[in-house]
Amino acid sequence: MTNEDHEALFESLLNGSLPDDEGRFGPFGGRYVPETLMPAIDRLTAGVHRYLPDAQFQQELQSELKSWVGRPTALTHAPRLSDRWGAEVWFKREDLAHTGAHKINNTIGQALLAKALGAQRIVAETGAGQHGVASAAACARVGLPCTVYMGEIDVARQAPNVDRMHRLGAEVVPVTSGDRTLRSAIDEAIRDWVSDPKGNYYLLGSAIGPHPYPYLVRELQAVIGREARTQLLERTGLPDAAFACVGGGSNAIGLFHGFLADRSTALFGVEAGGRGVELGQNSATLASGRPGVLHGTHTMLLYDDDGQIQETHSVSAGLDYPGVGPEHALLQLVGRVEYVTASDDEALAALDECCSLEGILPALESAHALAGAKQWAAANRGKRILVGMSGRGDKDMPILADYPVNRSKGSVDAAA
């Protein structure tokens, strides 16, 4: 494709022509699902087009976002990090939303949609547990039973969130097959959905999956970027760069959409560089992946020369996924968003720095965005930077217990 083709695709995205009627973002997206699921997909698509623009539905959603979720979330200046980095650093505080992350924006919207469509039961998947907690909370709010599938490995490393899901009334099903992380949890949730596609509603947590999910999740998360842009213009001005972590990509696509048309704002998605560049050592799909089909969509994936999807690694459970949302794949293709990586060690160091300088414990996922922003700031002194703080790190304390702050090896306190 030529540069002119890329620009035409980007303009189609800006004017609302993408995804198209087939759910495609240029060469990515679509609907690759079993025939038994197509009636459910068609009902969902019709419901999205009917209810999302509906004034009464939007009134109910906006009321829940304001009075229950706690929107708008804060825009916080980070003065000590700004001094340290030599930049003007701002956080969009999704960690302050109800249940502790951006996930609640999507789950309350989809739970209201499921109820409007007459669903009898909600099925969801989770990796870091935040989507599971948000799904459980939203289902309790609207009065629908909820079953959450979670990989056995993630159940162990995200134990606080498992307890929270139980407290909120959800059934949590550990998945012992496959890689026992997010990919396997999605597989099992889809199997459950297929068993009763009319009575069940699959509340997908990220901007992945078959159409209309990437579009639906983006529309429900775009409130992040809209708010951040308005807040920044009221306080200081547009950022020179905005950073968000990327696994499946829901918080990033939500943040980026507020700034896509602002060409002066560079956009960076930060993937999990893990322990190294080899397959299986990271979750850097856009940095290292190839096109393919997974979980109902055509996007960038991590697979070997035999076409086998590879197990991934990240210290953050929420980034531990071998694919990415198709809209991110398009944004990389057309050059509007640059996707970079941060290693486990860099993310852990960024988390400690944020804690000790700003009094904010970010989620390990968000720490990757911080690490990417710090790398960019080093070469762009004096610039204004927005970091998407996708969630808070309370859930990560069992993981962080294995990585104590080493004050003798470049700790924040020692370096200050």
Q: Which domains does the chain have, with CATH numbers?
A: 25-66+103-217 (3.40.50.1100), 70-100+222-415 (3.40.50.1100)
Q: Compute the C-alpha angle 399/278/298, nearest 5°.
A: 90
Q: Is the pLDDT of residue 108 over 90?
A: yes
List, as one string, the DSSP characters of 154-174: HHHHTHHHHHHHHHTT-EEEE
Catalytic residue among 92, 103, 374, 395: 103
Quickly count: other Cβ atoms within 10 Å of residue 11's Cβ: 12
Q: Which residue is it, tokens 């071998």?
A: 322
**Minimum mean pLDDT range among 28-32, 155-159, 189-193, 387-391:** 155-159
In angstroms, the Cα distances linking 349 to 5, 74, 91, 380 are 40, 24, 18, 20
Could you confirm whether 311 is annotated as catalytic? no
Q: Which residue is it, tokens 């930060």?
A: 270
> Using an 8 Å Cβ cutoff, are 94 and 251 in contact?
yes
pLDDT band of residue 132 (cuts 50, 70, 90) is very high
- In whole angstroms, give the CA distance from residue 363 to residue 386: 16
Could you confirm whether 66 is annotated as catalytic? no
Catalytic residue among 125, 271, 358, 365: 125
Could you confirm whether 198 is annotated as catalytic? no
Q: State the average pLDDT for the chain.
A: 95
- In whole angstroms, give the CA distance from residue 211 to residue 208: 8
Q: Is the pLDDT of residue 355 over 50?
A: yes
Q: How many residues does the chain have?
A: 416
Which tokens sit at 168?
């909120």
What pTM did the predictor assign? 0.95
Q: What is the mean pLDDT of residues 375-393?
A: 98
Phi, psi of 206 (to 5 degrees): -130, 175
Collapsed DSSP state (helix, strand, coil) of residue 413: helix
Residue 408's pLDDT is what?
A: 45
Residue 248's pLDDT is what?
A: 95
Collapsed DSSP state (helix, strand, coil) of residue 97: coil
Q: What percent of the chain has pLDDT over 70?
A: 97
pLDDT band of residue 416 (cuts 50, 70, 90) is very low
Q: What is the mean pLDDT of residues 155-159?
A: 88
Name residue 75's beta-bridge partners.
Answer: 92
Q: What is the mean pLDDT of residues 21-31?
A: 97
> Using an 8 Å Cβ cutoff, are 185 and 175 in contact?
yes
Residue 320's pLDDT is what?
A: 87
Q: Is the pLDDT of residue 247 over 60?
A: yes
pLDDT band of residue 406 (cuts 50, 70, 90) is low
Q: Is the pLDDT of residue 204 over 80?
A: yes
Fill in the amino acid letter for 294.
Answer: L
> What are the DSSP E strand ranges found in 184-333?
200-203, 241-245, 266-274, 290-294, 297-301
Q: What is the mean pLDDT of residues 280-300?
A: 97
Query: What digits encode the pLDDT tens for the residues 209-223?
Result: 999 999 999 999 999
State the virtual CA torsion across 324, 325, 327, 328 in degrees, nearest 10: -30
Residue 113: which of 60, 73, 166 has the closest Cα? 60
Catalytic residue among 184, 374, 390, 395: 390
pLDDT band of residue 256 (cuts 50, 70, 90) is very high
In angstroms, the Cα distances linking 367 to 27, 29, 110, 302, 393 are 31, 28, 27, 22, 9
Residue 46's pLDDT is what?
A: 97
